[in-house]
Structures are given as C-alpha cells and as structure tokens.
Amino acid sequence: MNTRPPIENPSEHAALSVAFNNDASRFTVGLDSGFCIFMSDTCQIQTARVFNAGLAVVQMMGNANYLALVGGGRSPKFPQNKVIIWDDSKGKIAFEIATLTSVRGVQISKTRVAVVLQDMVRVYAFDKPPRPLARYETADNMLGLCCLTDEYLVFPGRTPGQVQVVHLATDSVSIIPAHSSSLRALQLSLDGELLATASEKGTIIRIFSTRNGAKLAERRRGTENATIYSLRFSPSGNMLSCTSDKGNLHIFDVPNPRRSPSPPHPPEAAKNPGDKTNAEASNKWGILKNIPFGPFSDVYSFTSAPFETGDEPLLPTAVRSTGTSPVLGTSRPMKGVVGWINNHSLLVVGAGQDARWEKFVLRQGEDGRSVVVREGWKRYLGN
C-alpha cells in the first residue's frame, strides 16, 4: 500500500504573487491560471481573467484599467523577459516591452513604466509604442525592488545598501547610503515624501526624506536577524507597518512635524510573541536608552500582532538561466504583504495555496494607548 502523501494536488490553484495598488484600495493576485483583482476593504473580487497560464507579476496602475503582467509559474502565459501592459477595459494587450533578461519587477504610472531587471532599471514612456526614457544600473536586485510615484522613482544603488532616488521632473539622481548590507525592502509614502528601507539583516528600519535624503528616523524591528516581507506607510504618513518571517506585524511611529499627530501610544513596543521587540526590552535600560545616538536609544514598534505565515511547500516558477530558455525552479509563496485601508485599519495578504487576507484594526487599549488586533480573515481563493 502506498502511504506516501501526494507531492501536489493538481486541482488546487495557487496564488503566485500579491501586490497592492498605490492607495491599497485594491490588491492584485497573479495566479497559475490568470489574475484577479480584489477590493481591499471587503476582499470581494472585482475582476477575474482566466488565461489558463501563469502570471508571476500583476501590478495595477492606481485605480485605472491598466495592469503590468509578467509570466510565471509552471506554465507561464508570457515570456519572462517581456512586460505586457494589459488594458482590462478592452480585455486586450495595449503594448509590450521586451528585454534581454528576465524581468524582476514592474512599476507603472500614468506617464511611465519602470522595468526592473537583475542589475538595471529601465524607464519607458507610457506610450504606444513605449519610448525609452532612461536606464540606471543597480546592485544585484533579484527581488525587483522599486517604487514609482508621479514625482519620484526609487530603487537600489550600484553599491549594496544604497538607494537611488530619481526626481522625475528634473532627472536628477540622489544617492542615500541607507544600510551597510543589501536591501531587502523599499517603500515610499503615498505622497512620495518619505522613504522606508530595510536591509537583509532585518533588524533596523530607516526612514528618509526623498527631497533631501536626510534620515528622519530609525526604528528597530528586533534584535535577531529576520527576513522583511513588506513595509507600508499609513495614508497620513504618521505610521509605518512592517512584516517579517518572524510572523509579526509591527506598527511604528513616524515623526514628522508637518503631519497631524498619530493616535496616542508609547514609542516602545507592545509584547510581540516570538520577537524580541517588547516594552520590557526597550525599557530595561531606563534613562540610558535616551542617550542620543547611544547603544540604548532604539525605538521599537508601539504595537504588534501575529499574522499567518503558513508552512507551505515550494511553488513552481519558471526562471531564465540563459535569457532564452525557461527552466523550472521553485520559490516560497509570498506572505505578509501589507496595505492600509485607512489610518485605522490595514490588511496582511499572502500568496500560495493557503492564500489568506487578514484584516487588522487599531483600537484604544485599556490604558488609552493604541493596539493592533486582528478583526477577521478569509481564504480569498475559495480553496
């Protein structure tokens, strides 16, 4: 009798990728069979397209009908060295951009398409045909890190740990030495004024001004190394959320004198299960922690809550080893992708076969401080 468990269930669909639009009012899901667009506040499906083939990247242009698509999964819909700009109102391809190597990420706005390659970012005008505008060399960027607003384009620098900030109106480039090790996450605030960064160590998050590159704040996620999954500013820019493979959602204060104050809470962390980021850790040094630039001056998250990371098998994904021939590989499903519905509620979404939508809200605790709690969750693929 064969008692071995099956390697996979071919009837189960998997989410290959998850991405929020710029204001997090919707999130897109790349499937092994097409793509879906969900309303964030209700997790109700808005659009579904069945291609009977996989998409590794689905990036939405704001709330418009255009999406950037890149093939992926066991049976990719499109070559992985090609970006497809899809007009969903017409249900057809608007235009496409071909590259020599695999596309690692895409960002789109009403005027530009930023195509992220392993060691380069190429910028095109959002025209038919697409017109090349610029190209920028980067350090190794397998994660496809890049952010695009109407005013700024941000991506890794040529040296690991550095960030390049392009002011699109003038094409001027600023270099921010954000970390001493390679970048793991980048995120701009909704207005583009603030930039959050995290390195592959995952212990410190830094916040910079995009206008002058000045470091505005430094926040400590924890003392142990971690893989940062996602960073996201609240709509007001007063708070920053962070998820990691430690399985905790953290929320930090973001100081900015031009913004209205955040809900009342202490600068230290609430208790974080499985993470060394709690109030006891930040208070144990007493007055010593207030020494400017001293070893005890860390500021932790003011609240945190666990989210579902799952324990899923590797997903199949086609990768290009030569730039011409697809080779089947594997990767972990995306987890912990964060989006704020408003200044008091946010989502954490994961891909894979156990593709979940979890809603968290900020509430006032018994001591009058803000705490984050999970309000509900849903398997959005209906498996």
- pLDDT by residue (tens digit) across 231-283? 999 999 999 999 999 999 999 999 865 555 555 554 444 444 445 444 433 33
The pLDDT assigned to 333 comes to 87
What is the C-alpha separation between 174 and 213, in angstroms, rounded? 7
The pLDDT assigned to 255 comes to 83
Per-residue exposure over 217-255, b if at least 16 CB sit within 10 Å of its own CB, e if not: bebbbbeeebbbbbbbbbbbbbbbbbbbebbbbbbbbbe
In one-letter notation, the amino acid at residue 300 is: Y
What is the C-alpha separation between 322 and 144, in angstroms, rounded? 18
- pLDDT by residue (tens digit) across 34-45? 999 999 999 999
Cα separation of the two ends of the chain: 28
The pLDDT assigned to 264 comes to 52
Q: At residue 355, does pLDDT exceed 80?
A: yes
Contacts of 166 (CB under 8 A, 6+ apart): 134, 136, 152, 153, 154, 172, 173
Answer whether 360's CB lies under 8 Å from 348's CB: yes
The average pLDDT across 45-69 equals: 94
The pLDDT assigned to 218 comes to 96
In the chain, % of residues over pLDDT 70:
81
Q: At residue 105, does pLDDT exceed 80?
A: yes
Phi-psi region of 43 (alpha: psi -120 to 50; beta: other; left: phi over 0): left
Answer whether 213's CB lies under 8 Å from 174's CB: yes
Encoded tokens for 238: 């007063």
